[in-house]
Amino acid sequence: MALIVHKYGGTSMGSTDRIRNVAKRVAKWVRAGHQMVVVPSAMSGETNRLLGLAKELSPASVTAEVNRELDMIAATGEQVSVGLLAIALQAEGVQAVSYTGWQVPVSTDSSHTKARIESIDDKRVRADLAAGKVVVIAGFQGIDANDNITTLGRGGSDTSAVAIAAAMKADECLIYTDVDGVYTTDPRIVPEARRLHTISFEEMLEMASLGSKILQIRSVEFAGKYKVPLRVLSSFTPWDIDINEEAKSGTLISFEEDENMEQAVVSGIAFNRDEAKVTLLGVPDKPGIAFQILGPVAEANIDIDVIIQNVSHDGKTDFSFTVHRNDYARTMELLQSTVGPATNAGKVVGDAKICKVSIVGIGMRSHVGVASKMFRALSEEGINIQMISTSEIKTSVVIDEKYMELAVRALHKAFDLDQDAVAA
Ligand code: ADP
Ligand code: ASP
Ligand code: MG
């Protein structure tokens, strides 16, 4: 008997028919003798609908008070899901009980709308499992030290599931979604993308942090820290397929670089439209300038991603960096009102219509010329690169948003990712 955590995303929970299917699938795992914890997301579109209602009443605000209420509102989406799934399981003849985050409790810090899980008390859940019940726990949510309901950021149910699997030392965490695994890139953008049988943990971490929405970055971090066996697979296969076949399907996030791993230099391409670029023109090129600019930005709790400082002419230089698009207006305001004048900058300019496209692969460690191949492929499409950032296993470029899909397709081809998968 194993302890297994299943996570079902919004599309997989998208209608009562689909919820019934989830229940039938989970019931199959119960009949095979497993203890089951199931973490569903809100029904598809529900989180957007709820946040949309809030926005109608408070369009521009991002105050701490508003964020607290956004969590209060958004958390209800998952509360409905867990109740519906528990009922569907009971209808399948399986004992089941549902809990919201606070009932478990899943304890988080107080960063509303992007809270971090700090600890999970599994006493109640273990007692239910021991009593033969399936435990259905709301994804995406928790509670802070002052009993405020918190949410974990968009896509956060992945993190709930992996954190629960880690806390309970589950044998495996299976992430069921609307694609049948992790692909070389988003198959919605490149239909020729192919599924990876395995992806190394480090590559998955980069892919997620560079914008692949298939797994929330923090879920991958948790999996790495606690070595949670993690697999991404389809919830759209018939629920009654052979359980052993199902257990081996999809994509395994692997913690070892074994010889079965697909040996590509570049394993995948990620993209991110959620960034914006800001530039301070004509800042004095002197020691401490980067700190004078970025210090106040960091103090305002704004995350900075790619940074570029040009060579100086006549003692002046241009300094650009990217931030999340949600923080764009706040960053521009900060630069214009305080940082610009304090640093004697000439002018502050911004561009919210950019995107970041990245190639990822552990093979890049041992191969030279990968970045130049990337730049050549982009130049052949006439795409101008605005910023570049590299690490051991990735190269990212910032380009005009309107070329994003073209860039992803061109790179997918240039690195031969369209070809048939190596047999696992
Ligand atoms: P869920 O609601 O199940 O959490 P998401 O929409 O969050 O599902 O994530 C699944 C989606 O991620 C897929 O439908 C696909 O469009 C997108 N995606 C992005 N990058 C990839 C990738 N590399 N491989 C597979 N899917 C990807
Ligand atoms: N329902 C939340 C969202 O839409 C969490 C999730 O689906 O993982 O972001
Ligand atoms: Mg998701």
Domain boundary among 232, 257, 282: 257
Asked whether 155 lines ligand 2 (CB < 6 A), one says: yes
**One-letter amino acid for residue 153 of the chain:** G
Whether residues 32 and 109 share a domain: the answer is: yes
pTM equals: 0.93
Backbone phi and psi for residue 390, each to the nearest 5 degrees, phi listed first = -130, 155
Whether residues 192 and 320 share a domain: the answer is: no
Q: What are the residues whose beta carbons fall under 8 Å from the beta carbon of 123, sequence distance 6 or more?
A: none
Q: Is 211 left (phi over 0), alpha (psi -120 to 50) or beta?
A: left
Report the side by side order of strands in the sheet with 304-309: 304-309, 316-324, 275-284, 347-351
Radius of gyration (C-alpha) of the chain in whole angstroms: 23
Sign of CA dihedral 126, 41, 141, 163: positive
Residue 208 forms part of a structural domain: yes
Helices (H), 121-216: 123-130, 157-167, 201-209
Domain boundary among 220, 240, 257: 257
Any idea which ligand is nearest the CA of 267? 1
Asked whether 254 lines ligand 2 (CB < 6 A), one says: no
Q: How far is the CA of 8 from the centre of ligand 3 (A)?
A: 9
Give, for ligand 2, the residue of 47, 160, 218, 274 to mutate: max count of ligand atoms closer than 8 Å to Cβ: 47
Q: What are the residues whose beta carbons fall under 8 Å from the beta carbon of 295, sequence distance 6 or more?
A: none
Q: What are the residues whose beta carbons fall under 8 Å from the beta carbon of 364, sequence distance 6 or more?
A: 265, 266, 370, 392, 393, 394, 395
Residue 424 forms part of a structural domain: no
Q: What are the residues whose beta carbons fall under 8 Å from the beta carbon of 135, sequence distance 6 or more?
A: 36, 37, 38, 96, 97, 98, 99, 125, 128, 129
Whether residues 195 and 313 share a domain: the answer is: no
Task: Supply the residue whose CA is at minimum distance from atom 8 of ligand 2.
Answer: 155
**One-letter amino acid for residue 197 of the chain:** H
Asked whether 350 lines ligand 2 (CB < 6 A), one says: no
Q: Assess contact for 102 and 147: CB atoms under 8 A.
A: yes
Closest-lying ligand 1 atom to the alpha carbon of residue 158 = 4
Whether residues 280 and 208 share a domain: the answer is: no
In total, how many domains does the chain have? 2
Closest of 362, 299, 368 to residue 334, by C-alpha: 299
Any idea which ligand is nearest the CA of 74? 2
Closest-lying ligand 1 atom to the alpha carbon of residue 268 = 23
Measure CA 237 to chain center: 23
Residue 423 forms part of a structural domain: no
Closest-lying ligand 2 atom to the alpha carbon of residue 140 = 5
Residue 381 forms part of a structural domain: yes
Give, for ligand 1, the residue of 213, 231, 266, 409 to mutate: max count of ligand atoms closer than 8 Å to Cβ: 213
Q: What is the domain extent for residue 338?
A: 263-418
Whether residues 215 and 274 share a domain: the answer is: no
Whether residues 253 and 278 share a domain: the answer is: no
Distance CA 95, CA 29 (A): 13
Closest-lying ligand 1 atom to the alpha carbon of residue 8 = 3
Whether residues 334 and 225 share a domain: the answer is: no
CATH number at residue 173: 3.40.1160.10
Closest-lying ligand 1 atom to the alpha carbon of residue 212 = 20
Pocket of ligand 1 (CB under 6 A): 9-12, 41, 155, 177-179, 182-183, 185-188, 212-214, 268
Q: How far is the CA of 190 from the centre of ligand 1 (A)?
A: 13
Q: What are the residues whose beta carbons fall under 8 Å from the beta carbon of 94, sequence distance 6 or more?
A: 23, 26, 27, 30, 134
Whether residues 270 and 186 share a domain: the answer is: no
Q: How far is the CA of 339 from the centre of ligand 1 (A)?
A: 38
Asked whether 142 lines ligand 2 (CB < 6 A), one says: no
Q: How far is the CA of 186 from the centre of ligand 1 (A)?
A: 7
Q: How far is the CA of 293 from the centre of ligand 3 (A)?
A: 34
Q: Assess contact for 380 and 413: CB atoms under 8 A.
A: no
Whether residues 306 and 370 share a domain: the answer is: yes
Asked whether 213 lines ligand 2 (CB < 6 A), one says: no
* pLDDT tens sequence for the chain (424 residues): 899 999 999 999 999 999 999 999 999 999 999 999 999 999 999 999 999 999 999 867 678 999 999 999 999 999 999 999 999 999 999 999 999 999 999 999 999 999 999 999 999 999 999 999 999 999 999 999 999 999 999 999 999 999 999 999 999 999 999 999 999 999 999 999 999 999 999 999 999 999 999 999 999 999 999 999 999 999 999 999 999 999 999 999 999 866 555 567 999 999 999 999 999 999 999 899 999 999 999 999 899 999 998 888 889 999 999 999 989 999 999 999 999 999 988 899 999 999 999 999 999 988 889 999 999 999 999 999 999 999 999 999 999 999 999 999 999 999 999 865 443 3
What share of residues in the chain are helix, strand, coil (percent, to 5)? 40, 25, 35
Any idea which ligand is nearest the CA of 159? 2
Whether residues 318 and 232 share a domain: the answer is: no
